Structure 1
Amino acid sequence: MGYSIRSFEDGDAEALAELGRAAIGAIGPDAYSEEQVDAWLSNFAGPEVYQAQADAGTQIFIATNDDDEPVAYAMLEETGHLDHLYCHPDHTHEGLASSLLETAALYAKYHGITHLFTEASEIAKPAFESAGYTAMKKRTFEIDGVTITNWAMVRTIETATGAKVPA
């Protein structure tokens, strides 16, 4: 199966919401309890959020299969905040997370974003580390009274002129 990466298009919102929910439900239990996964799912974005983010200028990079169906995606805000990175459970271990993170880094490089930052789940942390992100600190927070952890991570981006700008 071949994959390609494209930008968000009208009509993608429902598929992205379903993809994210499928990823959390299937992969989340690898690092989080059932109670944590349920809390995460209860507060996960609906389709309207994706459309609103795209309309507000957030870059949504989508990995698609041969039929142009979304199978993974990343959301990059204008501030350099990488808000989502999800891969459908049927398409993990295909290098899609790495490709999406590199696409976001290239976009940042050519749009003057000097660093990228994220809050990575325990599951996503290794993919971010492989893409050059550094874990700054482990974060603990609550969703509906359920304690969950993730990692504040950052990556410095070399500018298009070649100068490295510190984060």
Structure 2
Amino acid sequence: MFIRNYREADIDSIVDLFYGTVHAVNKRDYSREQLDAWASANDLEERRESWRASLSRNIAFVAEKEERIVGFTDMNRQGYLDRLFVHKDYQGQGIASALISVLESEARKSNLPEITTNASITAKPFFESKGYRVVRSQIVERKGVELVNYKMIKELNPQ
């Protein structure tokens, strides 16, 4: 596996990975209606445009295996981890751990005191295993559909 900086040319692979992962991996914790509200096939083009802009502004990395993008993550300059997704066919191979390690290293270099995120029910155990703690559970609304997630935080020790 190889981790590199995000490039705009990655956007199609990233959006497709996100859609496929949400619908395959998160289905154990969310209903079909919730999954469709979170990651709708009708929103792919709009998502490509909005994510192209935000990923270019943020600190963003992709993981590649055999020249295929198998994961990605990004964080804004204030330490909000926006996205961390691993391809549905590459779960459990340490890809998310490697990505979050690189992201946390960048946060420390930027002297950020903490990283925050909004983790899905599915992702919560992963983040807890990496030292993040739940601040609160919350209900977010997507297209009129409610989904539960967790505001989480990890305080970073200065190096």
TM-score calculated relative to the size of structure 1:
0.88
* SS of corresponding position for 2:158: coil
Tell me if structure 2 keeps the 8 A contact 1:64–1:71: yes
Tell me if structure 2 keeps the 8 A contact 1:136–1:154: yes
Tell me if structure 1 keeps the 8 A contact 2:8–2:56: no
Partner of 2:97: 98
Tell me if structure 2 keeps the 8 A contact 1:72–1:96: yes
Partner of 1:54: 55
AA partner of residue 55 (structure 2):
A
* SS of corresponding position for 1:12: helix
* SS of corresponding position for 1:112: coil
Structure 2 distance, partners of 1:53, 1:141, is 20
Shift of residue 6, structure 1, vs aligned partner: 0.7
* SS of corresponding position for 2:39: helix
Structure 1 distance, partners of 2:34, 2:51, is 23
1:89 aligns with 2:114: no
Partner of 2:157: 158
Give runs of ≥4 in structure 1 deviating > 2 Å: 42-45
Q: CA RMSD in A?
A: 1.4
Give the strand-richer structure, 1 or 2. Answer: 2
Partner of 1:20: 18
Shift of residue 24, structure 1, vs aligned partner: 0.6
Identity of aligned residues (%): 29
Specify whether residues 144 and 54 from structure 1 end up closer, same or farther in structure 2 by C-alpha distance, changes over 3 A only. closer
Shift of residue 48, structure 1, vs aligned partner: 1.7
AA partner of residue 138 (structure 1):
S
Q: 1:11-34: per-residue Cα shift (whole Å, max 9, x none)?
A: 101110111001011112110011
AA partner of residue 81 (structure 2):
L
Partner of 2:4: 6
AA partner of residue 55 (structure 1):
S
Structure 2 distance, partners of 1:133, 1:49, is 27
* SS of corresponding position for 1:86: strand
Give the helix-richer structure, 1 or 2. Answer: 2
Give the unaligned 5+ runs of structure 2.
none
Tell me if structure 1 keeps the 8 A contact 2:71–2:86: yes
